[in-house]
Every structure is written in structure tokens, then in C-alpha cells.
Structure 1
Amino acid sequence: MNAAPHQPVLLTESILVVKQDTLFKEFPAWHGISLDALHPLLTAIVQHQESLPRHLAEKDASYKQIISYMIFTFDSKIFVMQRKNKLNEQNLANKLSVGIGGHMTQEDIQGETLFDWISREFEEEVSYEGNLAMHTLGFLNDDSNEVGKKHIGLVVLLKGDNGNITIKGDEHKSGQLMSMEECFDTFEQFESWSQLILKALVE
């Protein structure tokens, strides 16, 4: 994984993408989180992956950029981050997010298990010393806005055994553990993907 999906300083990097008509050939596009889409889309990504410079991918809606999106929980609380105001997609500036991770590369998925991908992504983004239990929620697709139309997220819930977690990367300016009640009290401040996930977690 190389930087979260909205960090402008790395627009020249090559990222993992798949043509939309190929990605959704066996499993048609949907809105929200789908666990049923997990295996069909993982298969399509492995078989039809391409590497594209990020600045080109951001301009080409025929591709979906593959994003890792991890949610850390401990003691019924969720780790919530606030994005910096200097972002490539200004509609995400200062938004709250529950998603740890970002763009993936072809190198990220070579010869490794899903847990290996996620563990490496997690360690690049945050500092945390403890055990993790992983639960895959599925793929998140949201074509309701311009950012979502070009991205698709692999959503994984990570349950920790302690709350000692801090931000390591540059994209976010703060992070804290929040209860579900606190999250819904500030619901309108969350980016759209995080809103979809928060709703799914209480269903």
C-alpha cells in the first residue's frame, strides 16, 4: 500500500487498478458493502490487475483504483481519524474517517494471503503494539460521488486487545478512539465511505 487514497504528493506512483467492465463482469456493481462480492472481485483483481500512474488513474473513470480500508476497534470503540485540509480531493479535506489504509500496488498482492496484505498496510499507517483479530466485511462500492466512482475498497475489521494506537502517516492530523454513540453524534462530519461502514456496523 502506498499512501492513502487522497494524498496529493504521491500522484506519480503506480497503483493497482482494474477496468470497471472487467471487475464487475461476474458480479455487477452495487452500492454499499458486499461480502458476496469478496471472492469474485478478489479473483478479478488477481487475474486482471494493471498498474497505472496515479495521476492518470485519477482522470480515467474506466478504472477502479483498489483501496485497502481497515477499521480498528477496541473495547467497543472505533479508531477515528481526521483528514488534513491539504488534500487532492478537497471534498474530503478535514473529514472524519474510520478507514486506515489507502492505494495498493501490484507488489502488495504478489504471493501473499489477504491477512499479509492487510497487516503490512496497517503497519505502514499506524503504530500499534498488540494482537489483532481480522474479520473481512467485503468490498465497498460507492458511485454516488466523483471520488467513489474511481475507487473500490476492501473493508476489513481489525479487533485489537488494547487501545494504544497512533497515526504514523501524513494524511491525517489526528486520531482517537470513539464510541459508536460519539460517531453518530458527529455523523455528518464523516466521509461517505465511513458513513456507510458505520451504518453497516450497527445493522
Structure 2
Amino acid sequence: MTTVEQVGVVPREDCEQLGLLEHGLHAASEQALGLLEEKLHFMARPMAEEDPSHKQLIPYVLVRSGDQLFGMRRLSSGGEARLHGKLSLGVGGHMNPVDRRDGHSAVRATLMRELEEELCIPAIASERFVGVINDDTSAVGSVHLGIVFQVEVDSPESVTVRETDALDGRWYSRQELEELRGHLETWSVFLLDWISGAHGVTAP
């Protein structure tokens, strides 16, 4: 019998009460993140994908080294067919029950698990919570909420993708990414705007 994946969700109503459903990427506090985690529970993924009364939380992390940003392109052999060929600036994925442990942040546990699954990163210099991404303009976006983090590394040459048959990854300058804007995933466009200081949100 096939086991159905359980994914982390929070009721849309709670996200609204926390002021987290503004369109695009906007800043949020660690306190708001903690309150989200308090409301977290798990739901069968097929059900969650069709239930706009809940938001699936997706930890989504930008990897950077100074002005260089790590981007990945999903190859045709990789999962998520709708993302094939698109350039992503974020590493992320669904939260699962395995990520929830007493006394630990399930969001940060998911973040580290996804980084370890997707990339080889020998050492992380710093990590910080940035804010949330919301996009209710599409059916997919209406059932997901991005929980955005930034990770800084000191040795960019040591960062590589693990699944080379499914992903192609390299470092990009901001100028290169602006030229490739039309090839970015929607959430990555929001990230690029944040990095560029658009919409009144700036990156350090």
C-alpha cells in the first residue's frame, strides 16, 4: 500500500490574522514565524493541493556569497514538470512530520534537510529569516506560502548540486539574473526584486 505524503499546513485564516498574505515577498518577524509554527499541522498532500482554506508552508532559502547568488535550473529528468527549464534562486520543499521535533523549529529543520538533499555546502557562515512570499494569483500559489531565509557562504567554489542528473546549478551576478528575469520562477522574481530593493524591500 502506497503511503500518502503528509505536508505541513496552516489555516489561511491564521495567516491572514498575522498579516502574511500580502502579495509578493514582504518582511515578517521571528515572532510571526513562531506563531505560524504553533498553528502548524499536517495534511495529506493531495488534499492540501486542493484546499485553499489552508496554506502549505514551504521553507525557501536563498544561497548567496556576497553579491553572487546561487541559481538552479531543473532539468527534464527532475521532478515538478511545471518547473522544468525554469531558473530558481531558492532551495525549498514541503514540511513533513519527520521535521517536527520537540524544542526545535520544524521550519528550520525542513530548511536544513532540503539544503542537504539539493546541495553540497561544506559550511554556512550565517542564516537568517527574511520574510514570507505569497501569490494568490495562481491556483498553485493560492495553497502555498513561502517561508524565506537567506544563507551566506564564505567559499562559493565549494557549493555544488547533488542531483546533477536533475539539476544544473551555478553562481550568478545580479546583472545576469536581471537579464534572465523572464526565465525565473515566480517566487524567484520576488526574491530578485527584494535583492534589488524593489517594492520598498531591501536586502543587506
Q: CA deviation at 1:132?
A: 2.5
Offset of residue 171 of structure 1: 9.2
Residue deviations 1:157-176, cap 9 Å, x none? 11101111112258942111
Matches within 5 A, 1:1-203: 12-27=4-19, 29-36=21-28, 38-43=30-35, 45-85=36-76, 87-88=79-80, 90=82, 92-110=83-101, 111-113=103-105, 116-163=109-156, 164-169=158-163, 172-203=166-197
Distance 1:183 1:172 in 2: 21
TM-score with structure 2 setting the length: 0.83
Whole-angstrom distance in 1 between the partners of 2:152 and 2:42? 31
Letter in 2 for 1:143: D
Over aligned residue pairs, what C-alpha RMSD do you find?
A: 2.4
1:60-109 deviations in whole A, cap 9, x for unaligned?
Answer: 2221111010011114111100123465462x321110111211124414
2:28–2:130 Cα contact (<8 Å) kept: no
| TM norm structure 1 | 0.83
Q: Which moved more, 1:170-179 or 1:17-26?
A: 170-179
State how many pairs are aligned.
Answer: 192
Whole-Å separation in 2 of the counterparts to 1:170 and 1:70: 19
Partner-residue secondary structure (3-state), 1:103: coil
Deviation at 1:120, TM superposition (A): 3.4
> How much has 1:41 moved relative to structure 2?
4.5
Partners of 2:104 and 2:165 in 1: CA distance: 26
In structure 1, the gaps of 5 or more residues are: 1-9
Q: Residues 20 and 134 of structure 2 are in contact (CA less than 8 Å); yes or no, is this contact kept in structure 1?
A: no
